[in-house]
Copies of this chain bind each other. A is one copy, B any other.
């Protein structure tokens, strides 16, 4: 085993969580398989699984262990805890209905964008698989919109922490270039992403803030390359997103 990861972390808990992460990756697994992957004795793994089972974090189907409903309940609580997030759900769907583009709401958490809601019609099932995933802010539309709302010092902090990893050839990797783009975004009120994160994918994003100015997260619409190249149409769509975010912020302030 040997856990030298971080200082002052409880090994037992880390191991338990790593088992959960492995079960996510493998879509369920048997004791032996887990033990081999984690390079630990079966008995140890078994102990963890028994423990996780009492809390329904895992369940047993025959001999394979899978993630269980306890996780689902807690995880879902992340989305329903905050009035902001609950409210964002219907706005995400409204955005999809109005534009026809896949719509997303992300929350800003510790310098990352976390998928909270997506709406894209029933056909596109895969979109829901990303809930809870964390994306960088520097190479996504909502991310840049969020950064544009933050004081420069905070942005620097975030960049220091996560860097500016280059996902595609269009990813911005120079800080000054990013900062000048953030200024422009700040003026026009929305951000555009042209294949900076995923090849052939464009997006328009707008940040959502509280009255106090605190950033909550952001909304975006996503489409294939060139969906937003016609600058007239782009402005129209950006207008729709911006107006929707305004409505969202308004309704939130009344709650």
Contacts and interface: CB of A to CB of B under 8 A. Distances in A.
Interface of A: 5-6, 8-10, 12-14, 16-17, 20-21, 24, 27-28, 47-48, 50-52, 54-57, 59-60, 66-81, 86-87, 89-90, 93-94, 107, 109-110, 112, 114, 116, 122-123, 125, 128-129, 131-134
A72 B122 contact: no
Contact of A74 (B20, B87, B94, B128): B20
Contact of A16 (B13, B21, B129): B13
A27 B83 CA distance: 11
Contacts of A93: 122
Contacts of A132: 69-76
A21 B69 contact: no
22 contacts: A9-B51, A13-B51, A14-B54, A17-B57, A20-B74, A24-B73, A56-B110, A67-B75, A69-B109, A71-B74, A72-B78, A72-B116, A72-B131, A74-B132, A75-B78, A76-B76, A76-B129, A80-B129, A86-B128, A87-B125, A89-B125, A89-B128
Contacts of A76: 72, 75-76, 128-129, 131-132
A93 B123 CA distance: 12
Which of A10, A94, A123 gathers the greatest number of chain B CB atoms within 10 Å? A10
Nearest to A28: B81
A12 B155 CA distance: 37
Contacts of A60: 110
Given A13-B51, A56-B110, A76-B76, 7 more contacts: A10-B48, A10-B51, A20-B74, A60-B110, A67-B81, A90-B123, A90-B125
Nearest to A128: B80
Nearest to A133: B73
Contact of A9 (B50, B109, B128, B134): B50
Contacts of A70: 17, 132
A81 B59 CA distance: 13
Contact of A69 (B50, B123, B134): B134
Which of A21, A28, A69, A107 gathers the greatest number of chain B CB atoms within 10 Å? A69
A178 to B, nearest CB: 24
A14 B51 contact: yes
A53 to B, nearest CB: 9
